[in-house]
Amino acid sequence: MAIKAPLRRTGPAAAVSAPAAPRGAVAAANWRESLFRRAVTGVVIALALVWLVPVAWTLDTSIKPETSTIIIPATWKVSGPTLSAYSAVFSATDLGRWYLNSAIVTVIVTVLTVITTSMAGYALSRGKFRGKGFLFALILAGIMIPPQALIVPLFRELQSVHLINTYWALILPQVPAPISVFIFKKVFDGVPVEIEQAATVDGAGWWTAYARIALPLVRPTIAAVSIFTFVWTWNNFLWPFLAATSPTMMTIPVGIGTVVSGVGVVNALQMASAVLGALPLVLVFLFAQRQIVEGVAGTGLK
C-alpha cells in the first residue's frame, strides 16, 4: 500500500508555530498592569504633592509683600513679588555669620566622623584582639541611647574644660556616630579579605591596607555617611542652641529660630530665612543625588 507523504506547505505560512496564547488573556494582563502602573503613579504624585506643597507655599510667601501674607483667605497669588524679605534677613540678622558657623561645624564634623568611624569599623572588621565582640556590642548599645539623654552631662563636661561657646563645643559631641561605625564595619566585612592579604604580602602595613586598599573600595559608603552626617549636623538645633549661647557662634537652625522668636510673626521674613537656611542642603542634594541613592542602596538604610 502506498504511503502518502503528508502535504507540505511552502512559503511564510509554512512555518510551524506553537499554539497562540488566548488574545483575551494577554490583553487582560496588559490592562491590569497598565492600571496598576497608573495607580502607583497617582499615589506617588499625591505623596510628592504632600511634600511639595509646604515647600512651594514657603517660597510663595517669601516673595510676597508682608501685608499680602496675612490676607484671609490665604491665597497663592503673589501681587507685586518682592525680595524685600530676603534683603531684610541679611540686613536685620547675622545670616552670613550663621552660614559660616554652620559650614565650619558641618564640614569638620563630617570629615572627622568619616575618618574616625571608618577606622573604628575597619578595626572591628579586620582586627583580631580580645574583647572585640564586647567592644562592638558596646558601640551598638550607643545607638539605643537618645542624644537628648546625654545633653546635661555633655554640657557640664564641656563647661568644665571651658569649651562652651567655641567651635569645639559644637563639633566634638557630634563626631561619635555609633550607627556609622556599624555601617562601616558591615561594609568592610564584605570586602574580600584576600585583597588586603595580597597587599600585606606586597609589603603594606596596617595603615596602608586601610587607607590605600580598603577605604577606596567603600567610596559609596563614605559618600552615604558623609551626606547623612552633613544633613544631620546642618539641621541639628538642640545641641548648638545649648552649647553656643553667643549670637556670633549660632548656626543656621539656631539663628533662624531667633528670627522667629525675636520679631514675632513676620511671615515673609520667616519664610525667607527658612528658604535661605535650607538652600545649601538643597544644593547638596541636587549635586549629589546619585551618590545619595547609591549610598543608601549600598548601606541598606532607608
In the block, residue with C-alpha cell 569649651: 163
Number of residues that bind another protein (CB under 8 A): 16
Rounded to whole angstroms, how far apart are CA atoms 90 and 211?
43
CA quadruple 64, 70, 71, 74: dihedral, nearest 10: 80
Residue 294 CB contacts under 8 Å (≥ 6 apart), including other chains: 220, 223, 224
Rounded to whole angstroms, how far apart are CA atoms 253 and 241?
9
Binding to another protein, residues 83-112 (CB under 8 A): none
Which range, of 29-37, 76-84, 159-167, 202-210, touches another protein by CB under 8 A? 202-210
Residue 166 CB contacts under 8 Å (≥ 6 apart), including other chains: 249
Q: Does 194 bind another protein (CB under 8 A)?
A: yes
Q: Which of 19, 203, 264, 300 binds another protein (CB under 8 A)?
A: 203
Gyration radius of the chain over CA positions = 30
Q: Does 291 bind another protein (CB under 8 A)?
A: no
Residues in the chain: 302
Q: Does 45 bind another protein (CB under 8 A)?
A: no
Q: Does 205 bind another protein (CB under 8 A)?
A: yes
Q: Which is nearer to another protein, 199 or 263 (CB)?
A: 199
Q: Which is nearer to another protein, 214 or 254 (CB)?
A: 214
Q: In Å, what is the CA distance from 170 to each residue of 105, 182, 240, 287? A: 7, 23, 6, 26
Q: Does 130 bind another protein (CB under 8 A)?
A: no
* Closest distance to another protein from the beta carbon of 194 (Å): 4
Q: Which of 192, 246, 261, 300 binds another protein (CB under 8 A)?
A: 192
Rounded to whole angstroms, how far apart are CA atoms 86 and 275?
9
Which range, of 2-10, 58-66, 211-219, 269-277, touches another protein by CB under 8 A? 211-219
Rounded to whole angstroms, how far apart are CA atoms 241 and 257?
9
Give the 3-state secondary structure percentages of the chain, helix then strand then coil, rounded to 5. Answer: 75, 0, 25
Binding to another protein, residues 215-234 (CB under 8 A): 216-217
Rounded to whole angstroms, how far apart are CA atoms 283 and 274?
14
Q: Does 211 bind another protein (CB under 8 A)?
A: no
Which range, of 35-43, 66-74, 201-209, 220-228, touches another protein by CB under 8 A? 201-209
Q: In Å, what is the CA distance from 200 to each residue of 72, 115, 209, 221? A: 72, 22, 7, 24
Q: Which is nearer to another protein, 23 or 130 (CB)?
A: 130
Q: Which is nearer to another protein, 140 or 204 (CB)?
A: 204
Q: Which is nearer to another protein, 277 or 298 (CB)?
A: 298
| Sign of the dihedral defined by the CA atoms of residues 95, 98, 100, 102, in that order | negative
Q: Which of 47, 55, 141, 198 binds another protein (CB under 8 A)?
A: 198
Q: Which is nearer to another protein, 46 or 201 (CB)?
A: 201
Q: Does 133 bind another protein (CB under 8 A)?
A: no
Q: Which is nearer to another protein, 11 or 131 (CB)?
A: 131
Q: Which of 82, 166, 208, 235 binds another protein (CB under 8 A)?
A: 208
Under the rule (CB under 8 A), what is the footprint of another protein? Answer: 192, 194-195, 197-205, 208, 213, 216-217
